[in-house]
Structure 1
């Protein structure tokens, strides 16, 4: 039975979204201020551009009445001195042509400047929001990432940020156009014939009501759409990352169904929003069209009969009527675009909620600026009655206590699921203990900055992650100013130099995404070299040689023994032969310390460790009782 997106949490960021108040106001307050010149300049240029685009209509009306029909005794334009207006009809005609041409040139220049300003604002805000949201995300507690899928986070950093850019660019353009076309056009209409102008605007309250109802309906729909996008991205990211397993398991059909289910969920949510928009926009245009038809019918009858309609007075010239028809369109049809503006706004608002929800995610491990830095003198590590569980109702470690003196090596052994890796993650403070204390040289690691703690602790996991780039880049990761000789020395210590130099490009060899071009053992040795280059005070080894052959393991072990001679080491080993010379060995089982001692002492006890050793040495076929 295939699972569907319905099996997942409806919205991975629902809790975060609910904490965000007025996200769009916050967006402009926090990111608009530093870019205020670009947006103000863009809006002002937009006002000027659209105003200029409206002036030819007034010139046309004046030309029809004063030049063509000569029903007006004087040809005049606002802000134009009468002394520059030609006296002849032909001269006035060409003067009108020049005035219209000038307004279009000015409108084009102002439109270009508006585009520069608004696009500059949108791109700057998009860049800053994406950078800040990523930085805020990567500083969150490790537990946060355990509850979120990569695709969901990518959806916020990419899709949601791009939604903001669409609104900040297209939405602000539409908003500027609406302000001018509605505001300035309304003033011109009232100037030409205020009574007919009122008739033209009669549908505005109705358009406002429809838009209000649209907002109420569409807002929750867009939140659901953004959620399903994150779920679809997660499914795609998981499948692409696990393509080797999919192919090896011949589960292409199974995964195709799962992707189809996730895509269908997105399709259904998005289609609901689309059909709502499809119903709203034509209705809005029809409502706006009613106002235009009324203006055309009443104004045309007024001109034909030369009689004012009921409740109106005065006269209406042909030129004024033509201008009214044209300006009426410029007033009414943009009102139908108000729905598109609201659509962009609601989409952006749903995205802004997710972005700021991510930024506002609380950190439980403490900020670096609030705590002193760790001071490592001897490297003594102490676990004092440590209890921990990933979930409230699940205990992974219970009352674990041990200490490692500076320069000593402690080995952790035991069956899978005993809590060995958790012990190391707690020392890195990827999680905080539920009870008890972990101290380094007497300092509770919860009372020092996480950054200074992790600077002092080197961690080599059994699953080495390599970044896309060269071998050199991956070894020097975190020590970006390391010299080539230092990088080579670290590689030699990790027994990686020989195979690296066998590559045609040597240290410049590209490792591929996640190191896919290298074997597991090669990736592991590069990971060891990366940590050795850092030269940490405390070294954590989580089955660091699990993917290498026995011969290579022995060479790495010799290098590590030289390295760890003056530092504290906590090592997890599947092969007990790699830790038999440790100063102290702890046997963990079900989250508790069952045995402790040296290799010889534990063999003499003839307990779990002795059984594990017997199985690996070939003396036992299975561990008794397991």
Structure 2
């Protein structure tokens, strides 16, 4: 049976390939928290046993102490509840006389209350500690796995969907491991203990009390069968809602500038209504189930009261045999209520279990997400000497349907600058992502000083490669924190020197708190140029052997570009540098220019040399120089086809 939320649930596939998620949860995470689990379990047993003391002692006292015509001793009444222990044995530990036995009864009742309270505290400590430890471990492990997945995984998922797993799903597990497990063992002990006592006292009346049990079991089984897919729909719709909210909050400036508040409100209303419908569907099933259980449990209590009451008044009714003392009847009535209601509450536990099961399937499905990049466990640390980089017949595609980079080969000597230019979609950024091993090549090889990137550890590779993107990301925190990100041991003096090298020190000094200024989420308090210069300062501080500049000045004004270009000139000196640029004026002095078209190398050479060839590079230069009327029609037609293809790919996405 298909469900609406599954149709657009990006994690449907990971849920379906996860088997025995709850068993795996306990096997992988419960084992490390066995002590807390044991404390919770043992304390649950003793807490519930002590909870039974007051009604049992009360029943014995009614029959043996408070009835002036009692024909049964205290020891005999107690022996009826303790099979295998004779009245003589019990009498040997009892004080003599009614008054002393009455005081003894008070002591037992007090022990039940105070001892039970102590074990209830221990039980709650054990289960809460067990749940909190697992919640923490799973959240950290899930995040660690998520941040190490390939970039193509993040291209297919939205932030809100992943936040839903890290937050909502993990929290739902904690609720089951704490409240659900706590209640399960508490109720299990209660049911087993009470059932044992009832059958020991009067097996016939005990069978009457158990009449609702088969019905409760049947209704619970039907509930599980019905609610499980509905909870999967709820989890999916939560992810979609979180994604929409995260997307809109991230784009709030665009929403305001385009006056689309009403449009976005309607879109949020739609996904919220999807969640409402899925959740209400599950709620509708749940609110029918639990009152039904209470009715069934109530029928069992009424039957027990009816049969037991007639038994006490006029002897065994109908086909029943034997005697039932008043104190035993009081115990039966008290314990039957404690027995039937826990049976009904098992439905609540199953409800929590099904929610946790749906969440754990998503969590472990994410943990099992395969990575396209497999690091050799015997890989060596990358050692960069000269900084020579070579691409040897490199071919790559994000999937099997289309090849993005085709047979690309080039060499860059240490300290040289290679610029990559070409039309949009030519594969420029992809070529450099392969250098950072964001992806692995499908064919060919990339080497640094003769070392194949697949034979070195990823951390050592990325320590040696600095990356400055046009989409600068600033973390919430201070200016200093953002410059030192990735070089966390840097002292203040080194941070300032890096900022000066990036032409950022002056504007930082003019901020309200200087380097201690909080820049807001994503650096919202800074301009684009300021964020770009902090990104460059971050790269300067890292001091990499190889530098990648991905359109580092494309989104800033001319004056800011001049300042940033000065920073980059200092940064690229004596380093192997790769630069992607749409503004060709920024790379005209590169040692080598590589022109890409449709994933292939179309041209290569220096600036003047490429202009003389009057090829693709010359035509791109003409576009930026405003010489559009002089461009050949063939170039314009090819540009139109590329633009159409890019738009089609965007629509498909």
| TM-score strictly above 0.5 | yes
SS of alignment partner, residue 387 of structure 1: strand
SS of alignment partner, residue 481 of structure 1: coil
2:650 — aligned with what?
A: none
**Correspondent of 2:142 among 133, 138, 145:** 133
User: Cα gap change, 1:322/1:7 in structure 2, threshold over 3 Å: closer, same or farther?
Assistant: closer
Contact 2:536 2:567 in 1 (8 A): no
User: Deviation per CA, 1:253-286, whole angstroms, max 9, x where unpaired?
Assistant: 1111111111111111111111111121122222
Gaps of 5+ in 2: 637-653
**2:432 is the counterpart of 1:424:** yes
Contact 1:524 1:547 in 2 (8 A): no
SS of alignment partner, residue 336 of structure 1: helix
Alignment of structure 1 residues 47-446 onto 2, 5 Å: 47-70=45-68, 71-76=70-75, 77=78, 82=91, 85=94, 87-306=96-315, 308-367=316-375, 369-446=377-454
How far 1:430 moved relative to its partner?
1.1
Distance in 2 between residues matched to 1:370 and 1:244, nearest whole Å: 48
How far 1:81 moved relative to its partner?
5.6
After TM superposition, the score normalised by the length of structure 2 is 0.91
User: Cα gap change, 1:553/1:368 in structure 2, threshold over 3 Å: closer, same or farther?
Assistant: farther
Distance in 2 between residues matched to 1:602 and 1:277, nearest whole Å: 72
How far 1:90 moved relative to its partner?
4.5
How far 1:236 moved relative to its partner?
0.7
Distance in 2 between residues matched to 1:402 and 1:265, nearest whole Å: 52
User: Deviation per CA, 1:537-570, whole angstroms, max 9, x where unpaired?
Assistant: 1111011122334344334333433332322111
SS of alignment partner, residue 393 of structure 1: coil
1:597 — aligned with what?
A: 605
**Correspondent of 1:576 among 550, 561, 584:** 584
Distance in 2 between residues matched to 1:540 and 1:616, nearest whole Å: 23
SS of alignment partner, residue 68 of structure 1: coil
Distance in 2 between residues matched to 1:557 and 1:608, nearest whole Å: 25
Contact 1:615 1:622 in 2 (8 A): no
1:566 — aligned with what?
A: 574
How far 1:370 moved relative to its partner?
4.3
How far 1:619 moved relative to its partner?
5.0
Distance in 1 between residues matched to 2:352 and 2:541, nearest whole Å: 50
Distance in 2 between residues matched to 1:494 and 1:620, nearest whole Å: 35
Q: Which moved more, 1:396-405 or 1:511-520?
A: 396-405
**Correspondent of 1:13 among 11, 30, 44:** 11
**2:509 is the counterpart of 1:511:** no
User: Deviation per CA, 1:27-66, whole angstroms, max 9, x where unpaired?
Assistant: 1111111111111111111111111111111111111111
How far 1:418 moved relative to its partner?
2.1
How far 1:233 moved relative to its partner?
0.7
Distance in 2 between residues matched to 1:40 and 1:377, nearest whole Å: 56
User: Cα gap change, 1:115/1:431 in structure 2, threshold over 3 Å: closer, same or farther?
Assistant: same
- How large is the Cα RMSD of the aligned pairs? 2.1
How far 1:177 moved relative to its partner?
1.9
User: Cα gap change, 1:33/1:250 in structure 2, threshold over 3 Å: closer, same or farther?
Assistant: same
Contact 1:160 1:348 in 2 (8 A): yes
Q: Which moved more, 1:589-598 or 1:385-394?
A: 385-394
Distance in 1 between residues matched to 2:165 and 2:602, nearest whole Å: 45
Distance in 2 between residues matched to 1:177 and 1:21, nearest whole Å: 28
User: Deviation per CA, 1:160-198, whole angstroms, max 9, x where unpaired?
Assistant: 000000001110121122112200101111222122112
How far 1:118 moved relative to its partner?
0.8
Distance in 2 between residues matched to 1:6 and 1:248, nearest whole Å: 34
Contact 1:368 1:450 in 2 (8 A): no
Distance in 2 between residues matched to 1:452 and 1:570, nearest whole Å: 19
Count of residues paired in the alignment: 621
SS of alignment partner, residue 377 of structure 2: helix
Contact 1:495 1:552 in 2 (8 A): no
How far 1:408 moved relative to its partner?
0.6
1:455 — aligned with what?
A: 463
Alignment of structure 1 residues 492-571 onto 2, 5 Å: 492-571=500-579
Contact 2:6 2:236 in 1 (8 A): no
Distance in 2 between residues matched to 1:529 and 1:368, nearest whole Å: 33
SS of alignment partner, residue 595 of structure 1: strand
